[in-house]
Structure 1
Amino acid sequence: MALWAISLGSAEAQLSLAKVFSSGMVLQRDQPIQVWGKATPGAVVSVRLFDTAATRSKMTQKEARVAADSTWQLALEAQKANARPQVLQVISNRDTLTLNDLLIGDIWICAGQSNMAFMPKNDRFAAASLQNATNPKLRLLNYQPSVSVYDVPYTVGEIPNLQPEHFYLPSTWQTADSVSARDFSAVGFYFGQMVQRETGVPIGLITVAVGGSPAEAWVRPQTVAGNANLEPMFRGDWLDNPSLEPWCIERGYQNLDNLLATNLALPGDSLGVNHPFKPGFLYQAGIAPLLGLSIRGVLWYQGESNALSLRRVQQHEQLFPALVRDWRQQWRQGDFPFYFCQLSSIGTEKGYRSEHWPEFRDSQRRMAETIPNTGMAVTSDVGHPSDVHPTDKKTVSERLARVALADTYGRKIAARGPSPQKVRQQGKQIILTFQNSDKALKTKDAQPLAGFELEDKAGIRHPAQATISGNKVHVIKPENSNWQRVLYGWQPFSAGNLQNAAGLPASTFQLNIAVSD
C-alpha cells in the first residue's frame, strides 16, 4: 500500500501512516477501525483514539509489532457515530504522529469516469450550492490524476506519474466549504450534503474518478479468470488488443506515442505500458490503496466508454457484476452498498456514438435488479442533446441519495422510479403494470405520455400512443400487425416522460409481450 510519511522523529525511524490518513478525516462507524503504515522493523507501534471532549478513560488503544518489511497494521474497536472531534495518536519509539479533528461516521467511495469527476463549480446550480457548501460534518478527500486524459502527449517528466503509487496527486482531508467543494465530485458532494443533512451522521467522501476511464481499468485481471468473454480484455499489450474500445486505445497512443518513441524504460507489466485506460490500472492506483479502510459503500458513475458499440455493451453486462463482486471480496466487508448512476441521454446528431445507449441503460436497469444491495439513479430525463456531461448533477445525486437513505439508512421515502413488472395484451391494448408508482403514475410537467414504442415481428419499431391508469400504462395497439415487444425511452436522447408521484422517472426498458389468457 502507498504510504505517506507524516513526521519523522529521528533519522533512523520512519514512522508513517497510509496516505488516506490525515487530520480532518472521517473514520467508519460501527466497524473495526483499521490503521496501518510503516515504521522501524521490530518496533512496537501504539495507536490510540480519544475524544477531545471526554476523559482519557474513554480512550481506545491497540498495539502492533512492525514486520520485517517495515509494515504494521492493527484494528481499533468499533465506535458509534460521533460528531465531536477525535484525536488519533500513533507512537513508536520516540516518534509520535497526531491527527486532529477526526469524526466517526460513514465513508463513501466515489469512482467512475468524467461524470463522477464533474465538479460543482461547473454545475448549473454552482452559485447557490457553493455559497451554502460549508458543513463541518461533511469531509472530502479529493484524489485527482497527475496526468491528463485529454489528447495531449505525455512528457518525459511525467513518466514517474505512470507508477500506480504516483498516479494521483497528493491530497488531505478537508472540511466541506466553498473552496474544498468546488473541485470535488459534484455527484459525491451533493449526495453527501443530502445524506448528512437527513441523517445527522458525519459523512466522509473519497473521490478517485478519472475522466474517460473504461470499466476494465477498475477491474483486477484475476477477477475475470475463467470467463471466456472477458479474459481477452486482460491478455497481451492493451494498446494492441481488439477486445478493448478503439477510442480508448487511440487516446492511449495520443498520450503515450511521444514516450514510446524513446528508449526509456516506461512503467508497465505484461499488459503493456501503464495508462489510466489500461485494464486493471485504476484498480491498482485508486482502489487497492484504500482496501484497508473500513467504508460504508461505493458510489459509481461510469459507462460512456463501455457503450460505444453493442459488443462493448454486452461485455459490460458481465464486467460490471464482476467488478462489484470483486471489490466486495477484496474489501472483506460483505455485500456493502454499491449505488450507481444510469447513463444519461445524448443525441447522435453531432456525431456522438450514442446509438447503443438505450441497450446500455436497459442493461443497467436489469443489473440493478439482480446484483445484491445495489441501486440506480435514473438520469435520462436530465441529459443534454449534444453534451456528454449534463450540468444538472444535483438532481442526479439527490436521486442517488434517496436510494441510500431508503436502503442503507432505513428512511421510508420514495427511492426509485416506476419499474415495469408485467406486460400483456388485452384486446386492442397492451397493458403494463408498474411497481414503485408511489400511489400513482404521472408524466413530467403534466405533458402527454411519450416515449413508448412497439416492435413488430420484423424487428421494426413504431411510435405508440399510451395513457396512464393508476399504476398501469395502456399502450394502444395498432391493428394488422403482430407485436412482439414494447419499448420505453429507447432513444439515445430519451423522449420518455413517465414518472411516479414522487417525481422519480422510469428507466429505459424493453419487454416481450405476453398474450392474454
Structure 2
Amino acid sequence: MTIRLHFSAPLLLLPGLLFVAPPAGADVELPAVIADHMVLQQELDAPIWGSAAPGEAVRVRADWLTEEVTTEADADGNWMVRLRTPEAGGPHSITITGGNTITLEDVMIGEVWICSGQSNMEFAVESTGPGYPGVDNYLLDIGSADFPDIRLFNVANSVALEPRTDCTGTWARCSPDTVRGFSAVAYFFGREIHFETGVPIGLIGSNWGGTPAEAWTSAEFLGAMPDFADGLARVAEARTEAADIEERQQTALAAWWAGLAQKDAGSQPGQWMSAEFADEAWDEMVLPVKWEDTELGDFDGIVWFRKAVEIPAAWAGRDLVLELGPIDDMDTTWFNGARIGGFEEAGYWTTERRYTIPASAVKPGRNVIAVRAFDSGGAGGLWGDAQQLTLAPSDADGEEAVPLAGPWRYRPGAALSDLPPWPSVSRPDQNSPTTLFNGMIAPLIPFAIRGAIWYQGESNRSRAHQYRTLFPTMIHSWRAAWGQGDFPFYFVQIAPFGYGGDEGQAAELREAQLMTLAVKNTGMAVTMDIGNADDIHPTNKHDVGKRLALWALAKTYGREDLVYSGPIYRSHAVEGAAIRMSFAHVGGGLVAEGGELTHFTIAGSDQVFVPARAVIDGDTIVVASDTVPHPIAVRYGWGPADAPNLFNAAGLPASSFRTDAWPGLTQPR
C-alpha cells in the first residue's frame, strides 16, 4: 500500500531546494510577499525582487514613476530593483516584464510592520481551537473589520536549515472573512495606527506558538553566543544529512500508516473508505464539532466520518474542491473510495483542509466522502465553522456550493492506547536555533518595513538570564539582515500566569525584557494588569495592541502629546527603615488602582523578602515593613501570577521590577 504524505509547510527544507537557479528561458517570478494587494513602505527606496533566466533583462514600471527601472538577472537568476515610493496612497499598479509580464494590482503605499513571536502573537481574533478561544467579544471585532486599506499577510509555518528566499502566504484586504484567523495583537495594533494616521497599513504576521527566541535569530549573530554552539552544530550536521533524515522520516511515517490495518478495521483496503460500504448502523454526529463535546467524550485515536452527497448532473466530469476546515490532528480523506488528500504528520491541527477531486472520480447522483481523523490527544475532529465545510466545482461561476455541515455518520476505528508509538526521527524543528529565522523571517528580507512588533518570551522563561543577551541579539540580527538601520522594535512584556513551580523565573524573564529597553529604538508594552493566572493566553488582546500602538505613535509617528509607557523603576535610596523609589514615565502622577498599593516586598541583608507597605509620595513610592528594620532591597510584582496595581495617571501599568542585583534563579552558578 503506497502512502502519499501531504505537507503544506514542510518541517525540514532540504538545502538543495533553497537556491535553485531558473532554467534558461524561465519566466520572471516573484516571491509571495510581492503580490497583488500588498502595501509598500512609503517614501523610501522599496526593493522589488525575484527570479528569471540568468542574464535576462527585467523592466519594472510603477504607475507613480515617470520612468521604468531596468536590471538584469545575475548568473543565479536573481534580480532586484528599488522603487522610490511616494507618500501614502493608492491603489497603484506595478508591471514587471522579462520573458513574460506580471502586473501587480491594488498596491497601496503606507506603513508596513512585521508582527512576530510565539502563541500570544499567533492568537487569532476568532477562536481557532483548544486553548485559543478568540479575543473578548470577537464577534463584534470581526463584524466591524471592514478596513480595505489595512492589508494582512500571514507567513505559513516553516522550518528551514538555511535561509529561504520565499515563503507561503498571500496578501488580503482586511475584512470580516480575512481578519478572523489573523493575529489579534497585530490587528489591533495596525487598526490603531490606521485610525490615528489615516494611511494604509500592511501587517505581516510571522509567528509560531511555543517557540524560543533562538529559533528566530540568525546563525551569524547566534554564533557569538557559546550557549548555542551545540544547537548550531546539530543544525549544520542536519544540513549535510538532510536528504537521509527526510527519507528516514517519510519511510517511518509511511510504515506507521500502512500498518494501521492491523489495528483499525476501517483502514483495511476496501473497507470504511469505500463508497459501497454499508454505514447505516453507524451513529451520527453533527459537524463541525470537537468530538470531546459529543458522546465520544475524551476519546483519543482514530475516528471515521462518512457522508453521502448528491452531485448535480452539471458537475459530472469537472474537478471539484472539497473544503473541510481544520481537522485535529491529522486526516486522510477519500472520495468514492479514492484517496484525494491528507495531512498525515503532526502540527497541522489548525490548517484548513482543501482537496481537489479529479473529474474522473466525479459522477452525478450519490457520491461518498470518507474522512479518517486521528487525534493524538486533547480535542479532536472536524472543528471549524459550518461555512468552511463545502463542495463545489473548481471552476464554479456563480454556482452554489453543496454545504457539508450537518449530520455525518461516524465510528471509532482504534483507540490511541491500541496504536503503535508515533514514529519520530531526530531532526531540527521549530525549537532549534535559527530554523524560524531561516524559514519565516529570511524570506521577507529585504521587503521594506517601518518596524516590528514582538510578543514572545514564555518559552525562554527557564533561561531568563540568558534572555538578557539573547533577545537583544535577536533584535540586532534582524536589523542587520534588513539593512534598514535601527528600525523601531516594540515588544510585549509577558503577562502574569500561574506557571507551576515558578519561583521567580517569570519575573526574571520580565526583567530581561525590561533591560532590553536599553537597546536603541525599542519599546515595551506592559501587561501586568491584563493577564490571566489560569490561562497563558489572555483574551484581552485589544489593550496589548493599543499599548504597542502608543509606543509607535509617540516614538515613530511623532505624537509627542501621548503618554506611551507606564511607570518604570529608575532609582532608590534607603531612608532609615524605609526605601524610597523614583520612576520614569509617571505620566501625570502615580496611581494605586483600587486602593492601597499591592505586591511590594522588602528584604534586608538576609535576602528574605516579606510583604511590605507601599505609599505614594508625589512621584516616588516609600516602602517599609515592621519586620525589616534595616531594608536593602524592594521587589514589585515578582510572583508569576501577580496582578499588582501601580499605574500612572494615563492608566498604564508599571512593569515588575527589583532594586537588587542578587543572583537570580536562572543565572548560571
Q: CA offset at residue 188 of structure 1?
A: 0.4
Q: Hey, what does 1:32 align to over in structure 2?
A: 45
Change (3 A) 1:458 1:354: closer
Contact 1:425 1:431 in 2 (8 A): yes
Q: Letter of the aligned partner of 1:398 in structure 2? A: K
SS at 2:136 equivalent: coil
- In the alignment, structure 1 residue 333 sits paired with structure 2 residue 481: no
SS at 2:142 equivalent: helix
Change (3 A) 1:90 1:354: farther
CA distance in 2, matches of 1:13, 1:229: 44
Q: Letter of the aligned partner of 1:285 in structure 2? A: G
Change (3 A) 1:260 1:404: farther
SS at 2:214 equivalent: helix
Q: 2:632 aligns with which of 484, 488, 499?
A: 484
- In the alignment, structure 1 residue 206 sits paired with structure 2 residue 208: no
Q: How does 1:49-448 map to 2 (within 5 A)?
A: 49-51=62-64, 58-82=65-89, 84-93=90-99, 95-121=100-126, 122-145=134-157, 170-236=168-234, 273-307=427-461, 309=462, 312-348=463-499, 351=500, 353=502, 355-368=504-517, 370-412=518-560, 413-444=562-593, 446-448=594-596
Residues 251-277 of structure 1 show CA distances to partners (whole Å, capped at 9, x for unaligned) of: xxxx9996695799xxxxxxx724211
Q: Letter of the aligned partner of 1:364 in structure 2? A: Q
Q: CA offset at residue 110 of structure 1?
A: 0.8
SS at 1:360 equivalent: helix
Residues 104-146 of structure 1 show CA distances to partners (whole Å, capped at 9, x for unaligned) of: 1111001111110000111113122112111122110012326
Contact 1:60 1:76 in 2 (8 A): no
Contact 2:32 2:166 in 1 (8 A): no
Change (3 A) 1:480 1:134: closer
Q: CA offset at residue 456 of structure 1?
A: 2.2
Contact 2:85 2:109 in 1 (8 A): no
Q: TM-score, normalised by structure 2?
A: 0.65
Residues 91-111 of structure 1 show CA distances to partners (whole Å, capped at 9, x for unaligned) of: 113x11011111111110011
Contact 2:234 2:428 in 1 (8 A): no
> What residue ranges of structure 1 are gaps of 5+ in the alignment?
52-57, 148-160, 241-254, 265-271
Q: 2:602 aligns with which of 451, 454, 465?
A: 454
Q: Letter of the aligned partner of 2:94 in structure 1? A: L
Contact 1:499 1:506 in 2 (8 A): yes
Deviates more, 1:184-193 or 1:69-78: 69-78
CA distance in 1, matches of 2:501, 2:443: 35
CA distance in 2, matches of 1:239, 1:489: 43
CA distance in 2, matches of 1:162, 1:318: 23
SS at 1:316 equivalent: helix
Q: Letter of the aligned partner of 2:96 in structure 1? A: V
Structure 1 runs (4+) deviating above 4 angstroms are 1-4, 161-168, 237-240, 255-264, 352-355
SS at 1:46 equivalent: strand
RMSD: 3.1
CA distance in 1, matches of 2:67, 2:170: 24
Bigger RCO of structures 1 and 2 (CA < 8 A, at least 6 apart): 2
SS at 2:473 equivalent: helix
Change (3 A) 1:232 1:459: farther
Q: CA offset at residue 69 of structure 1?
A: 1.4
SS at 2:109 equivalent: strand
CA distance in 2, matches of 1:352, 1:460: 19
Contact 1:454 1:462 in 2 (8 A): yes
Change (3 A) 1:239 1:481: farther
SS at 1:431 equivalent: strand
Change (3 A) 1:257 1:459: farther
Residues 381-415 of structure 1 show CA distances to partners (whole Å, capped at 9, x for unaligned) of: 11111211111111111101101110100102000
CA distance in 2, matches of 1:488, 1:181: 37
SS at 1:273 equivalent: coil
Change (3 A) 1:260 1:466: farther
Residues 393-442 of structure 1 show CA distances to partners (whole Å, capped at 9, x for unaligned) of: 11111101101110100102000001122211223432111121111111
CA distance in 2, matches of 1:256, 1:484: 61
SS at 1:191 equivalent: helix
CA distance in 1, matches of 2:197, 2:18: 33
> What residue ranges of structure 2 are gaps of 5+ in the alignment?
1-16, 127-133, 239-245, 256-425, 662-669
Contact 2:528 2:654 in 1 (8 A): no
Q: CA offset at residue 13 of structure 1?
A: 3.4
Contact 2:165 2:443 in 1 (8 A): no
Deviates more, 1:11-20 or 1:291-300: 11-20
CA distance in 1, matches of 2:535, 2:123: 13
CA distance in 1, matches of 2:187, 2:647: 25
Q: Hey, what does 1:43 align to over in structure 2?
A: 56
Aligned length: 461
CA distance in 1, matches of 2:93, 2:537: 40
Q: CA offset at residue 292 of structure 1?
A: 1.5
Q: CA offset at residue 352 of structure 1?
A: 6.7
Contact 2:157 2:440 in 1 (8 A): no
Contact 1:86 1:102 in 2 (8 A): yes
Residues 23-76 of structure 1 show CA distances to partners (whole Å, capped at 9, x for unaligned) of: 11000112201011111222211011115xxxxxx4352001111211111111
SS at 1:482 equivalent: coil
Contact 1:439 1:470 in 2 (8 A): no
Percentage of matched positions with identical amino acids:
36
